[in-house]
Amino acid sequence: MSGLTDGPVIRPRRLRGTPAMRRMVAEHRLHPAELILPAFVREGIDDPVPVTSMPGVVQHTRESLKKAAAEAVAAGVGGIMLYGVPEESKKDAVGTAGTDPDGILQVALRDVRAEVGDDLVVMSDVCLDETTDHGHCGVLDAQGRVDNDATLERYAEMAQVQADAGAHVLGPSGMMDGQIAVIREALDQIGREDVGVLAYTAKYASAFFGPFREAVGSSLKGDRKSYQQDPANFRESLRELELDLAEGADMVMVKPGLPYLDVLAAYAAEVTVPLAVYQVSGEYAMVEAAAEKGWIDRERAILESLTAFKRAGANMVLSYWAVEAAGWLRRDF
């Protein structure tokens, strides 16, 4: 009888023994509706253009973007975040294409809404980096610095034209002080209280944004360290969160994702609004490159990273794998 007490009495492995058991006791599950697809649409091209640093991602034509949006709906994806890439000749110091009703992003918003209606949450990027000839997220002053308050005036105009073009949600990504309040006021002034604002609350000056700059045809020289957050700082992100919520953000976001899970988890403990995380281009490129070399299992690595965001407290994940991952999740339900 003494042998009955040999070995551990408490054995957590009992709950890991079979796939059915693991499914039943899983603490977190990701759903396709929680995924948001970032997508790029480029002016003046006849066929989609591959983004070389992001295998599988393209700069869409207007027609291929509509098809991608329809595919996202069919996959059960929750939303799409649009970025417009104007022709080089249309870039200028103040990002005029960003407020032109016929600018590529506004045209694409109308295209996508006509294609999918309200079956997909259509989001748009409120930022000037794609449309300025200097590549910064705002207008520059006489010393070549980003002028915060002058940029806010441009964001207000952008918000209004994007709302008129059909965006359900606006995503101001420039990290200007006061941008949420200004955009909320601009929307309310034109009677668009129905349009939501997703705040890029913690957006760090990250090396992981590199491939994105190819995707949007960025003209940036230098860096954005004077307005994006320092990767060394954590408490600063809590201050940004407090400000964005006070200014009326409907949702908040952490960007990038995996390097900032601590920030994401801290936000999850604080907020009562939906919380998003952006799995950025560099995160995507690393997994794709390692998988291409045969060094990691691609599908497992993607799903593991997405699950990490869910475990840290995210309600929504922006990911370039959104449609593909949604298919896997639906398969495994």
CA angle, corner 65, sides to 59 and 68, nearest 5? 110
Residue of 67, 255, 293, 310 marked active site: 255
Tokens of 47: 């066929």
Q: Is 90 a catalytic site residue?
A: no
Helices (H) and strands (E) in the chain, counts: 11, 10
Contact 76, 32 (CB under 8 A): yes
Q: Is 255 a catalytic site residue?
A: yes
Tokens 């957050």, residue located: 229
Give 319's DSSP letter: -
**Mode of pairing for the β-strands spanning 49-50 and 58-60:** antiparallel
Residue of 203, 221, 293, 310 marked active site: 203
Count of other CB atoms within 10 angstroms of residue 81: 23
Scored b (16 or more CB within 10 A) or e, 6-43 reads: eeeeeeeeeeeeeeeeeeeeeeeebebebbbbbbbbbb
Scored b (16 or more CB within 10 A) or e, 242-254 reads: ebbbebebbbbbb
Dihedral angle over CA of 97, 103, 104, 106, nearest 10: 120
Tokens of 185: 């006021």
Neighbouring-strand partners of residue 252: 199, 275
- Active centre residues (catalytic): 203, 255
